[in-house]
Amino acid sequence: MLSFTERIIGAARLDVEVYEEVEADTDATGQAMSVVLLASLAGGLGSVSFGAGGIGLFMVGGVVSLVGWATWAFLIYVIGTHVLPESGTRADVGELMRTLGFAQSPGLLRFIGSLAGVGPLVLVVIQIWLLVAMVVAIRQALDYTSTWRAIGVCLIAWFVTSVVAAVLLILVVG
């Protein structure tokens, strides 16, 4: 069994064996949550000066990240197992939480976003890397043979999330 650090590095390297390991290890949910929180912290450090929002902003960001992680895992579960399953698809929400949590590993580099000049470009590269890691995590957790199906699940979940966010924004703002 790999260490926590080895899992983070392997997940960032898109190593399918790491995703399979964390999918199967029910004790890895806490580690996956740690990756989500650390990536959130790195994102906060990369986009906002600490003095601008203080510790409260980081705490809110962490809570939002955890809620988003759990919600995204449940949405991917529903879409992946009920809307677009393959014949071999077997998964539960916990498996998706673990793989999607470790898929946030590239996000640990978001702190680089605060660097003048290169920060914004690096953040774009990290976002693309995160998307690719998410597709790998979904493919492995849902036992898909098709990467395209995993991309489809991602796109449908993104669309659903966008519609819900737009409706909520309209309700709140009017």
Confidence band for 61, pLDDT divided at 50, 70 and 90 = confident
Q: Is the pTM of this model over 0.75?
A: yes
Query: Between 57 and 103, where is the model more confident?
Result: 103
Crossing angle of the two packed helices 4-12 and 16-24, in degrees rounded to 10: 130
CA angle 140, 86, 77 (to 5 degrees): 60
**With 90 as the cut, is the pLDDT of residue 156 above it?**
yes
What is the structure's pLDDT at 114? 75
Domain count, the chain: 1
Domain that holds residue 161: 4-173
Confidence band for 53, pLDDT divided at 50, 70 and 90 = low
Q: Which two tokens stand for residue 8?
A: 């983070």
Question: Long-range CB contacts (< 8 A, 24+ apart) of 161-169?
Answer: 161/72, 161/75
Residue type, 31: Q
